[in-house]
Structure 1
Amino acid sequence: MAWVLEAALEDIFVCGRATCLYVIAKMIDLLNKLSGKYFQHVVGKEARQKYRLVMTLLARDEVDVIEANILFHLDRGVDFIIATDNGSCDGTTEILAKYEKQGHLHLIHEPSRVLDQAAWVNRMGCLAFEKYQADFIFHCDADEFWYPRSGSLKCELLARPRADVLHANVVNILMRDRNGGEVFPEDAVYAAIKPYPKDRRQPRNLDNTSFLLFKYPSKVIYKLKKGYLPVVTGNHRIESDGKLPLFSERLSRDISVIHFPVRGVGQFARKAINGGVARENYEKSVAFGVGTRGWHIKRWLELSRSGKLMEEYKRLNLSDRLAEDLLATGVISKKDERLLALMDFLITHRQKS
């Protein structure tokens, strides 16, 4: 470990700022990989089996990924799933019902077209704590795959006893542009490993840069030893209202949330319209302002209504020329081991289905 730090510090003194930042990023990535192996080593299978990890899952019309999502997480430390199906009509409901019948899942049917995400997620969270004796919990969307380098989502939680809440970085996955002929998962080949920082002084997404190349807020996985802790819309942080017990927060060194928000023309159009209308209905139903939350979903709905949604879809994917530039600067990668492992898993799952 010492030689890694020594080499990085030497580079800081002899190279330019951009290279220094690259070296530091590479060092952090290496340390995270080593941390995953460490957590795996110090937390054995017997220790993991003593604690119950429950995942909540909120889905609407996600038939292309929902089963893979369930199997992936059950194989990485999740003991039980509480799922809310929001009136799906594409086969998602039937897949969730299959796993409920097998005893892996508790299914809630929520037909409302008023998207009250935080309320639905926290309803599942309370159920996980009160009925299913969850020790640990995280809240997952169907297009998210929580990837632990250690092999189990429990390892880091157990190896870091002073951390109540871990923040996991989100890694957006972008598709290569095939002029509307994109196929998932084969064309989901670019991981935004060094995303652009958000500039809060300017409106986002007003140029031709895919907003998926900008840094996303982290997601939380946490312990319930102090009771259930509610989350805000989007599951990015604990909803701290001053009444909750004190809890300590740390950045995860083992877990990444691999995010596949765009998976083809049809999926994107459904997501834009269904999500946009549901979000619009929610904002009409509440008396308070919601700020910029869900700005991208609202934007997509507006573009759909003006006939410009496919322009946005094309902007979210990467042409070969743009990808080449982003690869050269290290913003994206085609060789990220997490993405490669997930690609292999998704393709193998599809072949077996």
Structure 2
Amino acid sequence: MPLTLVATMMVRDEIDIVPAMIEHHLDQGVDLVIVTDNASVDGTTDVLRSYVETGRVELHHDPVHRKQQGVVVTQMARRARTAHAADWVLNLDADEFQVPVDRTLTLRGALEATPLHLNAFTVPVTNLVGPAAWSGSGIGRLAWRDHRTEAQLQQIGIHAQPTPNGMHRGETDVTVAQGNHFVSLPSNGQPAPEVATEVLHLPWRSWAQLEQKVINAGRSYESNPDLRPSPRHHGMLDYRRHQAGQLFEAYLARTPLRTELERGEADGSFVRDDWLAEHLRGLVGRALRPDLLGPVVDPAQDRPVPDDEHADGAERGRDLLAAEEA
């Protein structure tokens, strides 16, 4: 009997990337994506309704903005088991693409070869980065794996590389922690290296996307005093930069210049990886909704920041970030 694979996603204002995330995981063998829309206002809700019509997306709505991701994802993860008999559950964000390390496999193939008795395991997350843009999904532009050291990241206002995601077998009483990094089920080990998976993450796709994401997150934390993020929590640091009128310069500082990417390729801090862009563009012809996926992967929809403007803003940003540490 084939495994049932269910992904969950809580989303708010991610129209630039949502079709790609859904199409990718369905193409990789996920049976159903359970989505909770957190009162999006940018058209994301309409996109999700279009996918509901395909029968491969189940849509729920939660209009509350109190940074309640852990509670909502837990509900979806439990429903994946109780309503859909999920064997494996992938709890993902809209900007995350889980894929086997061995690209000759599909996600379904890798998970079919992963024993269910492992119960739960972690999946490494790698950021894909590239030059800055005013708007656009970044598919194709964000084509470098970010291997900068913690010290290098802290110089540009980032605390560390992303924490691995936690995925788990379907269980009726599972609890998923805020951020999808930890689950309540005990782990009995990791998958064999030949069927390991990873998550490709596109966190800083454009200035328009980052600004809206930071405002949404900051106001949601303000609305929920029961949550107490670390003073160095990346979302709250960015929100304070936004309030101080310094977020744009911080965005340019953390987004590598083309010259930095060239140097990074030489020393290993950036590794070119075009797989995701090529994969997503290749999906358009067989997508459930090519009319929605096509524009997301079209490089013409990107509005890059000119190199000289990027360089000037990044220099100001590094000065501002250094002052934060002083």
Q: Give the structure-1-normalised TM-score.
A: 0.73
Partner of 1:82: 34
> Equivalent residue of 2:270, what SS?
coil
Task: Give SS of 2:238's match.
Answer: helix
2:250 to 298, 306, 312: 312
Q: Indicate how the Cα distance of structure 1 residues 91 and 231 shifts in structure 2: closer, same or farther if over 3 A, else same.
A: same
Q: 1:267 aligns with which of 183, 186, 209?
A: 209
Q: Indicate the residue corresponding to 2:141 in structure 1.
A: 187
The Cα offsets for residues 315-348 of structure 1, whole Å up to 9 and x where unpaired, read as: 12111222222111112112x2534534645888
Please list the CA deviations of residues 255-281 of structure 1 after superposition, one character each: whole Å capped at 9, or x if unmatched.
111101111111111111111111222
Give me the whole-angstrom Cα distance separating, in 2, the residues matched to 1:144 and 1:332: 19
**Which string of whole-angstrom CA distances, capped at 9 and with x for unpartnered residues, describes residues 220-263 of structure 1?**
22222x64422211111213xxxx6x541316733111101111
**How many residue pairs get matched?**
285
Structure 2 gaps, min length 5: 286-292, 299-326
The 1:143–1:105 alpha-carbon spacing in structure 2 relative to 1, beyond 3 Å, is same
Q: Deviations over 1:108-137 (max 9, x none)?
A: 111011111100100111111111111110
Task: Find the aligned partners of 1:236 and 1:259 in 2 and give their Cα distance.
Answer: 14
Moved over 4 A (4+): 180-183, 345-348
Which residue of the partner structure matches residue 158 of structure 2?
A: 211
Question: What SS is found at the alignment partner of 2:124?
Answer: strand
Uncovered stretches (5+) of structure 1, i.e. residues with no partner:
1-46
Decide which structure has the larger Cα Rg and report it. 1
Aligned to 2:174: 229
Show CA shifts across 1:57-87 (max 9, x none).
Answer: 1110111111111111001010011100000
User: What's the % identity of the aligned pairs?
Assistant: 26
Q: Does 1:165 align with 2:111?
A: no
CA contact (8 A) 2:82 2:172 kept: no
Could you give the per-residue CA deviations for residues 148-189 of structure 1, whole angstroms, max 9, x where no partner exists?
2343223333323242223211110112146x5777224212
On the 8 A contact 1:167/1:252 being kept in 2, the answer is: no
Matches within 5 A, 1:267-346: 267-282=209-224, 284=225, 286=226, 289-291=228-230, 295-334=233-272, 336=273, 338-342=275-279, 344-345=281-282
Task: Say if 1:74 and 1:300 are closer, same or farther in 2 by CA, change over 3 A.
Answer: same
Identify if the C-alpha distance between structure 1 residues 258 and 342 changes in structure 2 by more than 3 Å, giving closer, same or farther: farther
Distance 1:143 1:54 in 2: 17
Matched-pair contact (CA < 8 Å) for 2:123–2:166: yes
Higher RCO structure, 1 or 2 (CA under 8 Å, sep 6+): 2
Counterpart secondary structure, 2:89: strand
Please give the per-residue CA displacement for 1:78-101, whole angstroms capped at 9, x wherever unaligned. Answer: 001110000001110011111112
Q: Residue 120 of structure 1: which of 72, 77, 82 is its match?
A: 72
Would you say the 8 A contact 2:114–2:191 is kept in 1?
no
Aligned equivalents of 1:155, 1:230: Cα separation in 2 = 26
**How far is 1:102 from its partner?**
2.2
Give the equivalent residue in structure 2 for 1:153. 107
Check 1:339–1:69 CA distance in 2 against 1; reply closer, same or farther (3 A cut): closer
